[in-house]
Amino acid sequence: MPRESAIERADRKNHKSAGHLLLKFVSPGRNGMPDDILLKPIPPEHQELVARYFRFVEYKKPKATPRADQLRRHAELRALGFTVDVIESQSA
C-alpha cells in the first residue's frame, strides 16, 4: 500500500506539469482542514465571476509596499487569473 507522501508527491508532480499551482494549506486553530489548495488557470471569461467569490488578500500598514518575494507570488497568482488585493487601510 503506498504511503500518503508518495501519493501526494505524484499528484503534485502531475498538477505542476499541467501548469497548476498547489499551495500547502495551513490554518492554525482549525483541525481537519485539507492538505493543499489547488489553483488551476482561470479562463479570462470567468475571472470576474471567480473574483466575486475568491480573492487573495495581502495586508500592509499604510504606505508600506509588498516585499519582492510577495510581489513575485502575487504575479504568479495573477498570471493564473486570480485577483490579489493589497489592503493598507481600514474599511469604514
Q: For 34-81, how does the pLDDT look when each residue is reduced to its tens digit (9 = 90+)?
A: 999 999 999 999 999 999 999 999 999 999 999 999 999 999 999 999
Neighbours of 11 (CB within 10 A): 14
pLDDT at position 89 is: 84
Looking at 17-21, 36-40, 76-80, 87-91, which range is the least confident one?
A: 87-91
For residues 11-40, average pLDDT = 94
Q: Read off the pTM.
A: 0.84
- Expressed as residue numbers, the domain containing 8 is 1-40
Same domain, 36 and 50: no
Q: Which of 47, 38, 4 is nearest to 18 (CA)?
A: 38
Q: What CA–CA distance (Å, rounded) separates 79 from 56? A: 13
Indicate the DSSP class of residue 23.
E
CA-derived radius of gyration, the chain:
16
Same domain, 46 and 86: yes
pLDDT at position 76 is: 96
pLDDT at position 56 is: 97
Query: Over 60: is that where the pLDDT of 92 sits?
Result: no
Measure the N-to-C terminal CA separation of the chain; round to a whole number of Å. Answer: 55
Please calculate the CA angle 42-87-21 and round it to the nearest 5 degrees: 30
Domains: count for the chain: 2
Same domain, 4 and 48: no
pLDDT at position 90 is: 80
